[in-house]
Amino acid sequence: FVLPIGQAKVERAGTDVTLVSFSKMVGSCLKAAEALAAEGISAEVLNLRTLRPLDRASIAASVRKTGRLVSVEEGWPHCGVGSEIVSVAVEETFDYLDA
């Protein structure tokens, strides 16, 4: 088994919102995507797989496609991975964000 370093994986394709996570929380995102699908919302689940280097291109591409971002993690609310994920959205996809 080989895990590509710095390359995120789309675990579930979607068009309405991007859920970005890593590790254990990816499972929670997949469950949330199922619940959202029952409400008619198509959620894309992006598994970062590695944090350093962070796959900024995959995050940006997904947010450009969906127009919305939810960062899901168990870490710190400040200066954590979520802060980095959101900074990618603000720096690279701000004009694409719908909400």
Structural domain contains residue 69: yes
* Residue range 68-91: mean pLDDT, rounded: 92
pLDDT digits over 7-55, tens only? 999 999 999 999 999 999 999 999 999 999 999 999 999 999 999 999 9
| Boundaries of domain holding 15 | 9-96
Report the CATH number that the domain containing residue 36 is assigned in CATH.
3.40.50.920
Structural domain contains residue 29: yes
Structural domain contains residue 3: no
Structural domain contains residue 4: no
Model confidence, pTM: 0.95
The total number of structural domains in the chain stands at 1
Is it the case that residue 1 has pLDDT exceeding 90?
no
Per-residue model confidence (pLDDT) at position 26: 98
How would you write the chain as a 3-class SS string?
Answer: CCCCCCCCEEEECCCCEEEEECCCHHHHHHHHHHHHHHCCCCEEEEECCCCCCCCHHHHHHHHHHHCCEEECCCCCCCCCHHHHHHHHHHHHHHHHCCC
